[in-house]
C-alpha cells in the first residue's frame, strides 16, 4: 500500500510568491505614505510661507516730503496803516471833527486856503489839496455823465460858523439846530476840507431830495475816487449826530477814501474806532 503524501501546507513556490506580493504591497504602501506626507508637508509649508509673507510685508506709507533747499518766508500782505496821519491835528486831512471832538484850537484857520475855480453859489475856498480834488471831481462829472455841479458852501471860519449856527437856533430852536448845523469850533467846514455840492441848476440844493437827482446819484457812486467821503449818511445819524446830508462831502485823500469804500465803512468814527457822537459832550 503506497504512502499518501503528507499535507504540510503551501509549497515553497507558493510561499515565495506570497512573500514577493506582500513585499510589493508594503513598498507601494510606503510610497503612498511618503507621497502623502510630502503633499501634506508641501501644503503646510506653502501656508506657513504665505503667513510669513503676509506678516513681513510692510504697510504702505506716504512717501516722505522732500525738504526744500531754502526756506522762503511767506510774503507780507500789505495792510492799511490807520496811524499814517493824525486824526487829532486840525492840519491833517484825516482830522476827525464831531460833537465829541472839537477842533484844537477851536478857532483854527487852515494854513493853505485857496479859491476853488468851480461854479458856485458863494465863492468857495478850500485847502489846496482839497481844491484840486474838487476841480477834478467836477470835471469828471461833466465828462463822464454830462452833469454840471456847483459849490453851495465850502470853508467857513469860526466867526462865520457862529453866525450860521445862531441863525439856525433862532429859526428852529437849539435841539433842531444841533441836528442840522455844527457848533462853531466843531464844524468840518472850518477845517477847509468840506464842501456842500449841488446841481448847477439849483435842483434840490441843500435838501435831502438831492440824493435822488442825477448829480446826487453820481456823486454818491464816484466821489470816493477823488478822495471824498459822504460824511453824513442816512443810516448813520446815531453815529455822526447829524441828519442825512447828501450834499456834504469831506475830503480825506484818495488812499483813505478807497480803503473805506473797499471795506464798506461809511463813517470816520467807525473806521478809526471812535465813539459814536450823537450828542455834544
User: Average pLDDT of 116-125?
Assistant: 97
Cell digits of residue 151: 459849490
Rounded-to-integer distance, Cα 196 and Cα 154, Å: 6
What is the per-residue pLDDT for 65?
A: 72
2-61 pLDDT, tens digit per residue, is 444 444 445 554 455 454 444 444 443 343 434 444 443 444 444 444 444 444 455 556
What is the per-residue pLDDT for 12?
A: 54
What is the per-residue pLDDT for 77?
A: 77
113 phi and psi angles, rounded to 5 deg = -70, 140
Cis peptide bond prior to 29, omega within 30° of 0 = no
User: Average pLDDT of 262-274?
Assistant: 98
DSSP letters, the chain, are: -PPPPP--SS-HHHHHHHHHHHHHHHHHHHHHHHHHHHHHHHHHHHHHHHHHHHHHSPPP-PPPPPPPSSPPPPPPPP---TTSS-SS-TTSTT---BTTB--SSTT---TTEEE--S-BSS--EEEHHHHHHHHHHHHHHHHHH---EEEEE----HHHHHHHHHHHHHHH-HHHHHHHSPPTTS-GGGGT-EEEEEETT-TTTTSGGGGGSHHHHHHHHHGGGGTEEE-S-GGGHHHHSS---TTEEEE--HHHHHHHHHHT---HHHHTTPPP-SS--
What is the per-residue pLDDT for 43?
A: 45
Instruction: Give Cβ neighbours of residue 88 (< 8 Å, ≥ 6 apart).
Output: 95, 96, 101, 104
Catalytically annotated residue among 6, 215, 243, 245: 245
- Give the strand pairing for 113-115 and 125-127: antiparallel
269 is catalytic: no
Rounded-to-integer distance, Cα 162 and Cα 184, Å: 5
Cell digits of residue 4: 499518501
* In the predicted structure, residue 201 carries a pLDDT above the cut 50: yes
Q: 184 with 156: CB under 8 angstroms?
A: no
| Torsion sign over Cα 97, 123, 113, 108 | negative
pLDDT-based confidence at 70, cuts 50/70/90?
confident
Chain mean pLDDT for the chain: 85
Q: 170 with 213: CB under 8 angstroms?
A: no
151-169 pLDDT, tens digit per residue, is 999 999 999 999 999 999 9
Amino acid at each position: 500500500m503506497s504512502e499518501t503524501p503528507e499535507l504540510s501546507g503551501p509549497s515553497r513556490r507558493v510561499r515565495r510568491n506570497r512573500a514577493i506580493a506582500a513585499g510589493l504591497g508594503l513598498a507601494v504602501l510606503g510610497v503612498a505614505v511618503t507621497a502623502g506626507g510630502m503633499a501634506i508637508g508641501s501644503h503646510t509649508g506653502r501656508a506657513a510661507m504665505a503667513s510669513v509673507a503676509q506678516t513681513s510685508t510692510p504697510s504702505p506709507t506716504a512717501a516722505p516730503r522732500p525738504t526744500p533747499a531754502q526756506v522762503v518766508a511767506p510774503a507780507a500782505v500789505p495792510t492799511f496803516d490807520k496811524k499814517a496821519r493824525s486824526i487829532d491835528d486840525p492840519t491833517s486831512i484825516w482830522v476827525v471833527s464831531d460833537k465829541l471832538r472839537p477842533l484844537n484850537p477851536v478857532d483854527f484857520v487852515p494854513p493853505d486856503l485857496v479859491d476853488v475855480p468851480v461854479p458856485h453859489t458863494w465863492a468857495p475856498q478850500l485847502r489846496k489839496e482839497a481844491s484840486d480834488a474838487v476841480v477834478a471831481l467836477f470835471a469828471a462829472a461833466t465828462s463822464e455823465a454830462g452833469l454840471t455841479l456847483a459849490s453851495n458852501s465850502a470853508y467857513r471860519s469860526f466867526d462865520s460858523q457862529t453866525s450860521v449856527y445862531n441863525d439856525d437856533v433862532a429859526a428852529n430852536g437849539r435841539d433842531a439846530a444841533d441836528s442840522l448845523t455844527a457848533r462853531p469850533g466843531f464844524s468840518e467846514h472850518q477845517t477847509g476840507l468840506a464842501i456842500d455840492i449841488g446841481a448847477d441848476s439849483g435842483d434840490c440844493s441843500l435838501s435831502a431830495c438831492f440824493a435822488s437827482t442825477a448829480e446826487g446819484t453820481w456823486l454818491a457812486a464816484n466821489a470816493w475816487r477823488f478822495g471824498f467821503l459822504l460824511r453824513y449818511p442816512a443810516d448813520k445819524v446815531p453815529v455822526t449826530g447829524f441828519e442825512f446830508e447828501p450834499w456834504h462831502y469831506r475830503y480825506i485823500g484818495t488812499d483813505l477814501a478807497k480803503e473805506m469804500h473797499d471795506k464798506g465803512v461809511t463813517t470816520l468814527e467807525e473806521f478809526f474806532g471812535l465813539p459814536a457822537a450823537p450828542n455834544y459832550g
